[in-house]
Structure 1
Amino acid sequence: MPSLLISVFHLTVAAVRRMDNPARTAILQGMSTDMTYHSDILVIGGGLNGACMALAAAQTGLSVTVIDTLAGGVQSDPAFDGRSYALALTSQRMLAALGLWTALEHHAQPMLQIKVSDSRVGDSAAFLGLSFDAAEMGDGPMGYMVEDRHLRASLLSALTETDGITHRTGATVVAQNADATGASVTLSDGEILRARLLIGADGRQSGTATRAGIRRTGWTYRQNALVCAIAHEKPHHGIAHQLFLPPGPLAILPLTENRSSIVWTETADMARRITALSDEDYLKVLRPRFGDFLGQISLAGARYTYPLGLTLANALTAPRLVLVGDAAHGMHPIAGQGLNAGLRDIAALAHVITHAIQRGEDFASPQVLDRYAEWRRFDTATLALATDVFNRLFSNDNPILRGLRDLGMKMVNAAPDLRRGFMREAAGLSGDLPDLMRR
């Protein structure tokens, strides 16, 4: 009898997909109630990845509950805290498809060029290395810089305004369980929620993954990232800079209004000493690394530091469960691909779910979730390995490696097709694109 009911459910979903969106949403939500599900999908984690996942799933007509450990209002602080994100072109397309870009566009800074140099502190030859120009690519900017406060506010607003999404703030999951037809979680107040699919978007220390018995592989780099924003005297002209210094890379990424985001890698010991400095002394250490090409600089927003490492979940799925974003993979910020990789996970999972529903399949079945895992496993492992190799190759002052690095950059500079290939990779345009990331 249960199998018959599930079959009827699948056939009905396929018919519902052909209806207009309001009717489809109403019917799917009603079916969830009839099947004693609180929603079709439970998303654990209310950060950027969790919110995007909920919006992408809601577009299919499924009902979603987001379980967010932060209390309501904590994430909506409009003050600029210095954090920003480099969004690849395909990530921007996805945000547009989710209805977010109209509100974000006037806060976003296009990245028109990327300049890469292999340098030393105080080296006068900085910024004379590898150069990428978006005009060569022909698809628009390689990406956009967006401040955390604007992206987060846009996502929170969308969660509130989108039908079929329930945002549970100040809630912590303490237990979870899965069976043949769904998954359930127990909250710290004893409440139990049930859904057909559980999605872990709860970061590198994912409790969702741990409770499912999914182990992780990884290591630390004995490096820390120092993150801040600076205001500068001269315009940046939409140019992003990546300096490879012996302790680690320094990224200078353009923001609006003559400001730039800084992601500055140092050895762990040095980073701790720099973090303890006053703002004035912090800038004194930064200036010789930064150079004077943008004139005088000053801090704009708070300073952050966090340890760097690589961590990969040994599996992306378990029965009635799937991982996305940092819960699935965390990597070095050397290429600025952390959030982009998470958004690509979400777009791929939404693609797989949507097409499964259209075929009348149980979108949370192992066969369907395996399609997502097969799609993303190779890409994420390759990206993690690439960031690891580049960090180890460039974070040193070995004269032999420096010579090889400089030769490699000269070869890429002299090969337009190869250069365009790198740009398309950075923009997220290579490989099989999910529906949400296509033009």
Structure 2
Amino acid sequence: MHERYEVIVVGGGMVGAAVACALGHGGVRVALLDKAEPLRQWPEEPLDIRVSALTRASRLMLEQLGAWPGMARRGVSAYREMRVFDARAGGELHFDCADTEYNELGHIVENRVTVAALWDVLDTLDSVDCITPAQVAGIETDTEGARLRLDDGRVFAADLVIAADGNDSALRKLAGIGVTGWDYGQHGLVATVSTELSHRATAWQRFLDEGPLAFLPLANGQCSIVWTLRSETAKAHLALSDADFLQALEEASAGLLGKMLGVGPRAAFPLRFQYANSYTGEHLALVGDAAHVMHPLAGQGANAGLLDAAAIAEIVLETRREQRSLAGRGLLRRYERWRKGDNLIMMGSMDVLNKAFGIQSSEVAGLRSAGMSWINRTALLKNIFNRYAMGQRDDLPTLAQGKPCW
């Protein structure tokens, strides 16, 4: 015996929860499976060291899903400017929302805030069942759809399964979908820090020899840092005392925000370039990190995943309105065509930037900084970069345009 749904979403992080919300708004019978239900409440301190820089497109999507009010209540931080520096040769880029029609370039949001707000919405959607704890142990397919077997013996069936279970996706492996990629030999060190000078609602990024150091503004006046370092350096920095770490951070920042006054818990995660060789399998679609992992230097990973969520939801709902089967291959082909190319362009751009700033020669550094300064002086180019970074580009899913898709 098994319970039947139209769609099963595996993984209740921000991308999986967003898919389930969009489908639930459209009345689709959905099961959302996750290992555990996320926290909805927590103490004010410490802040979550995992944050995302959400674009305007992501905000518009989250507003349509009904999650933004819950996010704003828990705390979001608008950033109005972005300043990028090349420490080796002095190049600089400055983006300002005053040069756009909007009041901000984006928002820095703790990941747990986005997830909790989406699960609040899921509670209100009658057609969505959130099932925890749930650990997938196997998948079987036939012409009518897929059946998921959990490690406790329960079985769930659906026309379509959406895997949002992360970069080490169990479903991707069970479906036999391989990946292409490589390790960067770098880790991203993350922490929350207090600084002498105000962050001025500005996202700061300084490119150093080992990788970029970013200070992302938080609503309480602190900054979330993402510091890309060689893996061995990152591990050494995790082992430093708070005082020694703050001294190293202050030196690396070159005084951008004055003295470093305090630091919370630190963590580091390995950085990797990775994409699934196929975004789809039999009755299966991969979204978010299950489909692609990119360098965090421009903070686009979460936004790309949310666009995946919006795209697959839009296609499912359109297919359903046309009374066509959700078990058909055409739905999956359309999703892969829509999202794989866009993601590969973004991933490739991040990869090229990371490698370009990793070149140590003074000649390359001079050319690189000259290019940055040229872009900074060219209003048209800056506007193109600004709009792309804000998610304002062609072929966006309907939700990311601020319109419902149900």
* TM-score tier after normalising by the smaller chain length: over 0.9
Match of 2:27 among 33, 53, 61: 61
> Per-residue CA shift, 1:310-346, capped at 9, x if unaligned?
1100001112110000000001101100100000101
Q: Equivalences for 1:227-376 in 2 at 5 Å? A: 227-376=190-339
Bigger Cα displacement from structure 2, 396-405 vs 208-217: 396-405
Deviation at 1:37, TM superposition (A): 5.0
| Residue of structure 1 in register with 2:79 after alignment | 111
Which amino acid in structure 2 is aligned with residue 366 of structure 1?
Answer: R
What is the CA–CA distance in structure 1 between the aligned matches of 2:158 and 2:143, rounded to whole Å? Answer: 12
- Say whether residues 1:409 and 2:372 are aligned partners: yes
Larger gyration radius, structure 1 or structure 2 = 1
Change (3 A) 1:142 1:43: same
Q: Separation in 2 of the partners of 1:367 and 1:272?
A: 46
TM-score for both structures, normalised by structure 1: 0.87
Q: What CA distance in whole angstroms lies between the structure 2 residues aligned with 1:74 and 1:349?
A: 26
Q: Return the alpha-carbon distance in structure 2 between the equivalents of residues 42 and 306 of structure 1.
A: 29
AA of the residue aligned to 1:334:
L
Residue 66 of structure 2 aligns with which residue? 99
Contact 1:227 1:262 in 2 (8 A): yes
Task: Report % sequence identity.
Answer: 37
Partner Cα separation in structure 1 for residue 232 and residue 283 of structure 2: 43
Distance 2:41 2:316 in 1: 30
- Compared with structure 1, are the counterparts of its residues 73 and 405 closer, same or farther at alpha carbon in structure 2 (3 Å cutoff)? closer
Report how many aligned residue pairs link the two structures. 399
What is the correspondence of 1:23-34 to structure 2 with a 5 Å cutoff? none
Kept in 2: contact 1:218–1:310 (CA 8 A): yes
Give the drift of 1:150.
2.0
Q: CA deviation at 1:75?
A: 7.1
Tell me, what secondary structure is at the counterpart of 1:378?
Answer: helix
3-state secondary structure, aligned to 2:212 = strand
| 1:40 aligned residue | 6
> How is 1:96-175 mapped onto 2 (pairs within 5 angstroms)?
96-106=63-73, 107-120=75-88, 129-175=92-138
Shift of 1:241: 1.1
Decide whether aligned partners of structure 1 residues 416 and 323 sit closer, same or farther in structure 2, where only a CA change above 3 A counts.
Answer: same
Distance 2:41 2:150 in 1: 23
Q: How far does residue 300 in structure 1 lie from its aligned partner after superposition? A: 4.8
- Residue 157 of structure 2 is matched in structure 1 by 194
- Could you say what secondary structure the match of 1:231 adopts? strand
- Which residue number in structure 2 is paired with residue 90 of structure 1? 57
TM-superposed CA distance for 1:233, in Å, is 3.0
Query: TM-score scaled to structure 2, two decimals?
Result: 0.94
Which runs of structure 2 are paired with 1:167-186 in the superposition (5 Å)? 167-186=130-149
**Which range moves more in the overlay, 258-267 or 292-301?**
292-301
1:80 CA drift (Å): 2.1
Question: Which of residues 206, 209, 225 is equivalent to 2:172?
Answer: 209
Q: Is the 8 A contact 2:47 2:192 kept in 1?
A: no
- Shift of residue 38, structure 1, vs aligned partner: 2.5
State the partner residue of 1:26.
Answer: none
Question: Which ranges of structure 2 fall in alignment gaps of 5 or more residues?
Answer: none
Distance 1:184 1:223, change over 3 A: same
- Check 1:73–1:434 CA distance in 2 against 1; reply closer, same or farther (3 A cut): closer
Matched residues in 2 for 1:253 and 1:304: separation? Answer: 16
| RMSD of aligned alpha carbons | 1.8
Corresponding residue of 1:13: none
SS of alignment partner, residue 130 of structure 2:
strand
Whether the 8 Å CA contact 1:80–1:149 is kept in 2: the answer is: no
Structure 1 counterpart of 2:336, which letter? A
CA distance in structure 1 between the aligned counterparts of 2:48 and 2:340, rounded to whole angstroms: 33
- Any gaps of 5 or more consecutive residues in structure 1? 1-32
In the TM superposition, residue 251 of structure 1 has moved relative to its aligned partner by 1.1
Q: 1:342, 1:187 → 2: CA distance?
A: 25
One-letter code aligned to 2:20: A
**3-state SS, counterpart of residue 129 of structure 2:** strand
